[in-house]
């Protein structure tokens, strides 16, 4: 199976850009990661970069597309951020989300894991097949029936998280299925909340149906993000993987 990868990361209307992303591929193994930092005063960008660097470094050393490998990589990133927090007041409260995708193109199969409200989507036959669930207070309200899913994007305190990298106690990553079978024509997208906030799932599907490349797909959705974001728009990032 061949993989086509495209990525974008923009500051929007806020500086600095506290989002980070990266991918690595070798010998039929592909690893992608997207992270959104928080903490202010420079801490957020430090946290997200450290998360991406640590997770990619783990897979370069041990290219294993398993749930256990993702769990270990996320734990190493959490430990690295906590260790850096002790360096001083500027980074003492920094946190980061992370969403990780590992693909074994030879099998072909994938697995994933995440912490926070950066999301992974898997599209099959042009429709959302898998969507991760946010580690947020608002998502818990949806799960409890107090809000409908279509109210999540506009809810107050939508960005309030109960789990993120950099927490010593509230470390609760969610992990995907082991060796989830993937098919020719599948498309993955990993993105921060600054991206998915302005493009709903139906619009993601419509954009996918209208293009012929991963890059064009991201560009089409980005145009909606920019049109709707306005002044002071959050940083936004997305990484797409097409399976062909």
* Alpha carbons 80 and 161: distance in angstroms, whole number: 20
What pLDDT is attached to residue 89? 78
pLDDT of residue 117: 96
List Cα–Cα distances, 194 to 16, 20, 97, 204, in angstroms.
Answer: 14, 12, 12, 14
* pTM, 2 dp: 0.96
For residue 2, how many C-alpha atoms fall within 13 Å in the half-sphere facing its CB? Answer: 3
Domains, the chain, ordered by start: 18-134+164-197 (3.60.40.10), 201-228 (no CATH)
Token pair belonging to 108: 């072909």
Per-residue model confidence (pLDDT) at position 41: 57
Q: In degrees, to the nearest 5, what angle opens at C-alpha 103 toward C-alphas 220 and 214?
A: 15
Per-residue pLDDT of the chain (244 residues), as tens digits, is 999 999 999 999 888 999 999 999 998 899 999 999 987 656 899 999 999 999 999 999 989 999 999 999 999 999 999 999 988 778 888 999 999 999 999 999 999 999 999 999 999 999 999 999 999 999 999 989 988 888 889 888 888 899 999 988 878 899 998 899 999 999 999 999 999 999 999 999 999 999 999 999 999 999 999 999 988 899 999 999 999 9
Q: What is the pLDDT of residue 101?
A: 98
Contact 71, 145 (CB under 8 A): no
Q: How many residues does the chain have?
A: 244
């Amino acid at each position: 199976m061949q993989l086509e990868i495209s990525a974008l990361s923009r500051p929007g209307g806020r500086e600095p850009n506290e989002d980070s992303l990266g991918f690595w591929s070798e010998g039929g193994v592909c690893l992608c990661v997207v992270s959104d930092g928080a903490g202010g005063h420079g801490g957020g960008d430090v946290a997200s970069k450290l998360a991406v660097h640590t997770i990619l470094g783990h897979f370069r050393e041990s290219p294993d597309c398993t749930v256990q490998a993702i769990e270990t990589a996320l734990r190493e990133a959490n430990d690295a951020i906590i260790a850096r927090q002790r360096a001083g007041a500027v980074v003492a409260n920094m946190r980061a989300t992370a969403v990780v995708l590992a693909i074994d193109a030879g099998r072909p199969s994938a697995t994933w894991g995440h912490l926070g409200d950066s999301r992974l989507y898997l599209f099959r036959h042009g429709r959302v097949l898998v969507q991760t669930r946010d580690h947020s207070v608002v998502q818990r309200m949806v799960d409890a029936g107090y809000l409908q899913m279509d109210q999540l994007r506009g809810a107050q305190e939508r960005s309030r998280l109960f789990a993120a990298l950099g927490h010593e106690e509230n470390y609760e990553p969610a992990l995907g299925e082991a060796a989830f079978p993937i098919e020719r024509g599948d498309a993955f997208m990993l993105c921060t909340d600054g991206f998915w906030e302005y493009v709903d799932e139906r619009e993601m599907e419509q954009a996918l149906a209208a293009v012929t490349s991963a890059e064009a797909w991201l560009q089409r959705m980005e145009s909606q993000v920019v049109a709707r974001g306005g002044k002071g728009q959050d940083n936004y990032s997305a990484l797409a993987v097409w399976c062909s």
